C-alpha cells in the first residue's frame, strides 16, 4: 500500500477512533454479557492495532527512513500516544466518560500487535 492509499485511511481511522471514544457514555450501547467478558478491551485493541498498521504503512511510504523498522516504530508510538491522549480527554470531559488505564493497556497491546504484524510482513517479503 502506498502513501496515497494508506495516509487517507490512517486519517479517517484516527478520526473514527476519536468520535467513537469521545461520544457521551449515554450513547454507547451496553450489553451485560459484553461487560462481563470485557469485550470493550478487544475493541480497543482492534482499533489501535489497525491504527498502528495504517500509520506504519503511511509513514513507510515517505521513504525518508534509515531503516525499514523506523516508520513502523513511529506508527506504534503514535498509536500508543493517541490512546493516552484519548484517555486523558475522557477523564477531563465528563459526559459519563472516564480515563481507564486498562483501556490504555488494551490500546497499547493492539498497537503492538499491529506493529508485530507489519514486522512479520516485512520479513516474509524479504
Q: Do 7 and 48 meet the contact criterion of CB atoms below 8 Å apart? A: no
Q: CB-based burial of residue 47 (10 Å sphere; 0-12 exposed, 13-18 middle, 19+ buried)?
A: buried
Cα separation, 121 vs 108, in Å, equals 20
Is this model's pTM higher than 0.95 or not? Answer: no
Q: What is the full per-residue pLDDT of the chain (126 aa) written as tens digits?
A: 555 689 999 999 999 999 999 988 777 777 776 666 678 999 999 999 999 999 999 999 887 888 889 999 999 999 999 999 999 999 998 777 889 999 999 999 999 999 999 999 998 987
Amino acid at each position: 500500500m502506498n502513501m496515497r492509499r494508506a495516509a487517507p485511511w490512517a486519517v479517517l481511522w484516527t478520526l473514527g477512533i476519536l468520535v467513537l471514544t469521545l461520544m457521551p457514555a449515554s450513547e454507547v450501547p451496553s450489553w451485560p454479557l459484553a461487560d462481563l467478558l470485557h469485550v470493550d478491551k478487544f475493541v480497543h485493541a482492534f482499533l489501535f492495532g489497525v491504527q498502528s498498521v495504517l500509520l506504519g504503512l503511511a509513514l513507510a511510504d515517505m521513504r525518508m527512513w534509515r531503516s525499514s523498522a523506523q516508520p513502523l516504530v513511529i506508527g506504534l508510538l503514535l498509536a500508543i500516544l493517541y490512546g493516552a491522549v484519548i484517555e486523558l480527554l475522557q477523564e477531563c470531559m465528563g459526559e459519563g466518560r472516564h480515563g481507564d488505564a486498562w483501556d490504555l493497556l488494551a490500546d497499547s497491546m493492539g498497537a503492538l500487535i499491529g506493529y508485530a504484524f507489519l514486522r512479520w510482513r516485512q520479513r516474509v517479503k524479504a
